[in-house]
Structure 1
Amino acid sequence: MSVKESKPNLTVSQATDITGRLFGLTVSSIRPLPSYDDQNFHVVSSEGGQYVLKVMNLADSQNLPLLEVQTHTMNFLWQRGLPAQTAVPTVTGQLMSLEEIDCGFGVQKYLVRLLTFLPGTTIAQVTCTPQLLYEVGRTAATMDTILLQMEHPHLRALQRENFIWRLASVPLLEQFLSVLDGDPLQEVVKKVIEQFKTRVVPKLNSFRKCINHGDFNEQNILVEPDGPSSYRISGILDFGDMSSGYFVFELAITIMYMMIKRPRPLAVGAAVLAGWESVIPLNPEERDVLYLLVLSRFCQSLVLAHYTVLQQPENEEYLMVTARPGAQLLQLLWETGRGEVEKIWFSGAAEFIQNSLRTDGVNN
């Protein structure tokens, strides 16, 4: 089954009917939201609430244990003070429903959830101060630390051995490298994959394990104004890439996405790292691979976006929103080199903490 056939393609009318039938809501307005391989609608109900109707792609709809864990995770984090989206029960009290829908490929079963609509704008749309980036790092580390306490009968579903977006799956990119034929970055991607195999894979046991959100990106973090010139995090979206992983993986993914479209991208890692280490400091083995892991995530984004565009050419603008600027940042990181980048990140993080301590001392 191609990505195109797997992705749901409901009409607004179908989405309206499902919202009314499953959740007992009268729709006053509904509009499609951009998405990668699922389908999302912003729903405003006559009863006064705002929601996101999320219809999962066919492939993921068949993995009910995984979707149960993802849904449970959102509620678990929200109950512990993090602003995660949560699932709204159906009229019969279920948090998700498998629905028979015809999207043009015959009647198929798609999993449907109604999620809370969180306030705010994506962090991609605001100017990120070092303090906001610090909060992003701190929130990512807090989230993974909280998830260590989570229990669920289907936690094993998060192993996801061959899930292509897991950071541990970087070697699997080799099968897609032809999508970069003619692109000078293809050689860089090959070298990063080789380094991942020799420097990361043998050391996995020395990294601390956790559950990764796996996609803590500039579109999945919402912020709201907090005073005249600052923001606070108001929403964490999209748990579809969750998997068993490692703390340092989450940090690398977060740094990579926070670099997108920032005026001083190399400095971003310092503030994110400072926030992360305020919750869980890296051990020496984790520090040693951070640069390579950030490169690896840029490679995943680049290769998989190009591959998916071949399947969904009509969705190119959305699919390439990270990969286009990401290609330039991959080049920048690679050419700057590990030593210089690590100096910027690690020295910058230490300096950030020192400055914060000084400021706190003055304020106290």
Structure 2
Amino acid sequence: MDRESGFTSRRKVQRVKDKMAEQHAKPKVSQGVAAELMKKHYNLTPSEMRYLPSYDDQNFYVATAEGGQYVLKIMNSEDSKDPTLFELQTYAMAFMHENGLPTQTALRTTTGQDMFLEDMDCGYGLQKYLVRLLTYLPGIPISKVPLSPQLLHKVGQTAARVDNILKEMKHPQLSVLQREGFIWNLSNVLLLEKYMHALDGDPLQEVVKSVLHQYKTFVVPKYASFRKCLIHGDLNDLNLLVQAKESNGHRISGIIDFGDMNISYYVHELAIAIMYMMLEHPEPLEVGGPILAGWESVFPLNEAENDCLFWLVLSRFCQSLVLARYSVTLHPENEEYLMISSKKGITILRRLLEMGKEQVEKIWFQTALQFKN
């Protein structure tokens, strides 16, 4: 999913889906038609509407005469053909909301549905588009505020709470979230080998090969000791919203974008959160400790998970960098936009490798201990 509160994730542009080479039929709906959908299916009258950024779907911010604020989401026609994933994501958001986390929820239609398919012609002929109306979450992306140690600690704590709650979720279609072959699952890092040609002639290729070798020899044998669970899968710096606290600092006010949700491992969620927060911090090495401390205040790592965290963080950097570069080969006209976060990512990845696992872990673990004392 795209930014459901109106912010477009640059990682979304880099996302390599199974059908990436296909031309998705992005909806092109006018505000007038969107207003008609609101009236027809929700019996709500928009008093204010504006377009929100989106990559392959279409989002509208809507304030209604009845007093609510919402995001109207119209999915592209390709993804609309299989609504099961969206049903599960919508169910998960509601489940987490019921358990005290700040997630969006879907407003039911007048016929009691969480979503509906609408036949529309958006310039590609008559096609079906999946439509949802979600609550609007206040706040700004965490990338827009200083990442204090206290806020990073809260990120780790929140990430662990997300997975602990999702662990209890029951749904008859839950097995769909196994998502075999999903390129953004950290279990599938070695699938990057199929895309390495995108780095031909670039010294980065050898760096990535080195990380993949360590993943294969050091991490893979320890998966039997990792604890499995359903994870959000993309707790990046744009998918966490914050608001200023009355006293000082910021609190997390929203968790959005469940498009990468998959059955994976607890430690993957932690590694993903650390990697993305490193991209936004002026001193990336200061990120891991507070997030790790926050995570372990809810869910302590076991020995194998602890031992593999460094290589999993580096592996996520590799996923982001390789798939961004591969996206450029498909869409060279968007190279500047696609590579926005890659330059900093490459610098951080090289630095982590140069310092080595032992030195980086020493910084992370010693900082984490300071929070416990």
TM-score after normalising by structure 2: 0.88
Q: Distance in 1 between matches of 2:119 and 2:339?
A: 31
Match of 2:139 in 1: 120
1:362 corresponds to: none
Between stretches 25-34 and 207-216, larger displacement belongs to 25-34
- Displacement after TM superposition at 1:256 (Å): 0.6
After TM superposition, the structure 1 stretch with the greater mean CA deviation from structure 2, 5-14 or 192-201, is 5-14
Per-residue deviation, 1:319: 4.2
Report deviation, 1:96.
1.2
Question: In the alignment, does 2:367 pair up with 1:353?
Answer: no
The answer as to whether partners of 2:52 and 2:61 remain within 8 angstroms in 1 is yes
Give the distance between the partners of 1:144 and 1:69, measured in 2 at CA: 15
Contact kept in structure 2, 1:301 and 1:322, CA below 8 Å: no
8 Å CA contact 1:35, 1:318 repeated in 2: no
Alpha carbons of 1:268 and 1:202: their partners in 2 closer, same or farther (altered >3 Å)?
Answer: same
Once the two structures are overlaid, the 10-residue window that deviates more, 88-97 or 115-124, is 88-97
- Structure 2: segments with no counterpart, 5+ residues: 1-18
Paired position in structure 2 for 1:357: none
Q: Contact 2:27–2:76 at 8 Å: present in 1 too?
A: no
Matched, 1:340 2:363: no
Superposition RMSD in Å? 2.1
What is the deviation of 1:2?
4.7
Taking structure 1 as reference, are residues 110 and 303 closer, same or farther at Cα in structure 2, changes over 3 Å only?
farther
Q: Distance in 1 between matches of 2:337 and 2:114?
A: 28
Is 1:68 paired with 2:78?
no
**Alignment length (residue pairs):** 354
The alpha-carbon distance between structure 1 residues 21 and 221, as it changes in their structure 2 partners (threshold 3 A), is: same
- How far 1:304 sits from its partner (Å)? 1.8
Q: 1:259 aligns to what SS in structure 2? A: helix
In the alignment, structure 1 residue 6 sits paired with structure 2 residue 24: yes
Task: Confirm whether residue 287 of structure 1 aligns to residue 306 of structure 2.
Answer: yes
Q: Percent identity?
A: 56
CA shift in 2, pair 1:7/1:29, >3 Å: farther
Rounded to whole Å, the distance in 2 between the matches of 1:54 and 1:188 is 39
Shift in CA distance, 197/15, structure 1 to aligned 2, threshold 3 Å:
farther
Residue 11 of structure 2 corresponds to: none
Name the CA distance, whole Å, in 1 between partners of 2:155 and 2:70. Answer: 24
Distance in 2 (alpha carbons) for counterparts of 1:91 and 1:265: 49
Following superposition, the deviation at residue 211 of structure 1 comes to 0.4
Whether the 8 Å contact between 2:237 and 2:280 is mirrored in structure 1 is no
Q: Structure 1 residue 192 and structure 2 residue 229: aligned? A: no
Partner residue, 1:26: 45
Residue 334 to residue 35, structure 1, CA distance change in 2 (3 Å): farther
TM normalised by structure 1 equals 0.90
Contact 1:270-1:347 at 8 Å conserved across structures: yes
Deviation string 1:35-66 (CA, Å, 9 cap, x unpaired) is 34433222222333221222334443233222
8 Å Cα contact 1:252-1:290 kept in structure 2 = yes
Aligned 8 A contact 1:12 1:30 in 2: no
Q: Which amino acid aligns with 2:316?
A: R
Unpaired stretches in structure 1, ≥5 consecutive residues = 355-364
2:106 is aligned with 1:87: yes
Q: What is the CA–CA distance in structure 2 between the aligned matches of 1:191 and 1:11, rounded to whole Å?
A: 47
Q: Which residue of 1 aligns with 2:231?
A: 212
Displacement after TM superposition at 1:114 (Å): 1.2
